[in-house]
Structure 1
């Protein structure tokens, strides 16, 4: 098990963490018992970074984690996102609404998270998106107050622009930026990645498998029975073009003696020692497969071969529907 420092002045955490969102129904049905066992297995293997959010099924995800870490809080590094409000859809389900980075929201939300998680503090607390209606300095100022009170240990940002990162870092040290980064999502390489490195901010890369597509197990659009059917990369001719790329990745993985998922995760880790990644799963089998990516060394020649097949920008379609893309890079 490999640890990495989260930012220049941050703690040591596992280089591969566990994204827990799918345990609360984000990608099809889930089973609480199996999900808890998966979290416990991650901790037993020394992978301590657990990523959740207070809006994952209205707190269900945090309550699930609290059961898994009972009696072993010291083994877990809890990363919690907040600020993504939800609204009731006509069919009774919950849909993403606006975001809130208002200080009052943060002060209230953190106490509900602490209660659901049954803990006295949260390790990393992160606004899920930058609220355009609230100066980032005010948002970070409120988080800094929570640090002083001992309710949170470190401050994170998510899907923030280079400009917002600079403003935030001037207000208080930022430990980590959580953002999508994978073979298929490399927009941050131009400006955001150099910016966080200049400030000593670690990168928490989510969706390293592009929501499962890079695992090689999705063969047809009919394999999707969840929200991914609304994402452009999984639709129409984009699906076929991207599937052809996956086939090439599978060929490379076979030659390397690993799975496509392991190759994709290893690639993310190879982009810098300041990067950790949090592939999501709700099953022990996939957890163990993902964690084994630490044992896949990629030589310079390997990286060149991957780059030749999957250069930046080759993926077809955006990572979110257009209505959600506006909330990114703010």
Structure 2
């Protein structure tokens, strides 16, 4: 697999998002053995960056990866996130990037993941109660202590990125970016490229919608966040099916799958972009990583870039309040 640089961090240009193995999606946590096989197959196929977070479960996804990476830890760039669990008592889904909370979160992640360092440690969401300078200052101390190697931000806005990078180099920013979520192109990408910061797009397949396999809004189990997501309900869902069908038609024209086309389009947006499509199945990781070999013609890239935006917000109102796009 081809490699790119996120800042000065070398990674294979297609990573693996592990969240759905344990959290948030239909079938999560039902087959850990297959999830572990998927991690191993991804590594065998050349994937280096594997992404998780303490909030996924909470904690169970990191536990799973800790088991999966036994004996293979040195083969991967391991990324995890803090800041959506307050260890001072408020618990999960509470923004807390205070220095004490960061250190508590990191020690827990290190233990669950079975490692002595995190390669890329992200602030999961910007905490309005803790200045970003204080957050990055704490992370810089952890770099000096050898407990983390690189610092990342997730869903941070331009001003936060600039202020953070002034304290310590930011290696990567993680944001939702795909054929149907392109809001970062005008405000975020120029800032990242100004400072040489890499982009890690999560949900590059539109939470599965762009694969063409999502056809009924009632297919999602209780606990699947897509059940209440505006893009997966009502008239928005029906309009977005037409968008998925367009991607499927283009994929048929080039002899690839819709997922491969969606990932290849992202890869064509720059050599500083490393998407992390999530899956818990070996067959899907094989399909997704094959996008590395798919070179889309210029007219196809133009056709894809010209597709209409998805209908509906990317998150519920509560979720949107945590974003700084």
Query: Within the alignment, does 1:328 sit opposite 2:323 as a pair?
Result: yes
Answer whether contact 1:233 1:317 (CA < 8 A) is retained: yes
**1:250: how far off?**
0.6
Runs of 4+ in structure 1 off by over 4 angstroms are: none
**1:71: how far off?**
1.0
Structure 1 residue aligned with 2:208: 212
Query: Within the alignment, does 1:121 sit opposite 2:117 as a pair?
Result: yes
Q: What does residue range 1-330 of structure 1 map to in structure 2 within 5 Å?
A: 1-7=1-7, 10-29=8-27, 30-85=30-85, 97-225=93-221, 226-308=224-306, 310-311=307-308, 314-329=309-324
**1:178: how far off?**
0.5
Query: Normalising by the residue count of structure 2, what TM-score does the alignment of the two structures yield?
Result: 0.95
**1:46: how far off?**
1.6
Gaps of 5+ in 1: 88-94
How many Å separate the matches in 2 of 1:151 and 1:96? Answer: 23
**1:296: how far off?**
1.1
**1:259: how far off?**
0.6
Answer whether contact 2:9 2:171 (CA < 8 A) is retained: no
> Per-residue displacement from partner, 1:68-112 (whole Å, max 9, x unpaired)?
11111110110001111279xxxxxxx962211111111111111
Answer whether contact 2:18 2:51 (CA < 8 A) is retained: yes
**1:273: how far off?**
0.3
Gaps of 5+ in 2: none
- Aligned Cα RMSD in Å? 1.4
Number of aligned residue pairs: 318
> Per-residue displacement from partner, 1:35-75 (whole Å, max 9, x unpaired)?
01100111111201100001111211111111111111110
Answer whether contact 2:86 2:101 (CA < 8 A) is retained: no
Query: Normalising by the residue count of structure 1, what TM-score does the alignment of the two structures yield?
Result: 0.94
